[in-house]
């Protein structure tokens, strides 16, 4: 009787060992579970991704628009062969503050002899600006090039002033009433380029 009981006891021990081995193998070969938590809102992104929101980025750079509000043509005193163009220009900024520089006037005229790509000049004197809000203007005090060279145009701010250009060997009759158009180009401190809408001589400008 004892040999039979001993035999059964040995079989039970072997069965327990086999079950234990089977469970151990199953545990060791199962795939690991991914326990990484999702990134919570407000956590900084990984390196290489931008954390700047679109609206923050837009407000961190200048954003200018300009408009030629008035055009005045007159012969340069003492130089009757040269024509001066004084422009009342308004500038608005919806971005970060910045100074303005590298002003230039492009003239598009059917008369092929009219120069273009002109830089403004600083002149003194009071001139008439027909159709402008200010009938006369002191060119030295209202020089837009000087106004914006050292004083940044604030975010949400506007500035207006006068830019004067001299066209050598040009007369008023070459530009008036022949679809001549003017465009003023300028840049911000970072070198971004801007330009006014095309303005035709003799036509009233639209509001800025």
Domain 61-200: top CATH class: mainly beta
Element (H, E) at 13: helix 2-29
Residue 196: Cβ-neighbour burial (10 angstroms; 0-12, 13-18, 19+)? buried
pLDDT for the residue numbered 68 = 95
For range 51-74, the mean pLDDT: 75
Write out pLDDT tens, residues 44-59.
333 333 333 444 445 6
pTM of model > 0.75: no
All residues at 6 or more sequence positions from 59 whose CB lies less than 8 Å from its CB, including other chains:
95, 96, 155
Write out pLDDT tens, residues 73-131.
989 988 889 999 999 999 999 999 999 999 999 999 988 889 999 999 988 888 776 55
Residue 159 has pLDDT above 60, yes or no: yes
């Amino acid at each position: 009787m004892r040999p039979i009981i001993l035999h059964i006891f040995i079989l039970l021990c072997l069965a327990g060992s086999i079950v234990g081995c089977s469970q151990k193998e199953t545990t060791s070969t199962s795939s690991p579970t991914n326990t990484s938590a999702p990134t919570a809102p407000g956590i900084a992104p990984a390196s290489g991704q931008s954390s700047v929101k679109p609206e923050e980025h837009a407000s961190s750079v200048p954003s200018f628009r300009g408009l030629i509000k008035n055009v005045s043509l007159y012969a340069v005193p003492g130089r009757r062969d040269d024509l001066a163009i004084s422009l009342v220009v308004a500038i608005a900024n919806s971005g970060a503050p910045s100074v303005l520089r590298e002003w230039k006037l492009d003239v598009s005229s059917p008369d092929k002899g009219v120069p273009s790509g002109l830089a403004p000049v600083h002149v003194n004197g009071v001139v008439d600006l027909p159709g402008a809000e200010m009938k006369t203007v002191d060119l030295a005090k209202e020089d837009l090039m000087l106004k914006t060279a050292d004083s940044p145009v604030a975010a949400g701010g506007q500035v207006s002033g006068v830019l004067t250009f001299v066209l050598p060997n040009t007369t008023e009759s070459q530009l008036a009433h022949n679809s001549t158009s003017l465009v003023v180009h300028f840049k911000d401190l970072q070198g971004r380029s801007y330009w006014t809408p095309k303005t035709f001589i003799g036509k009233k400008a639209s509001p800025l």
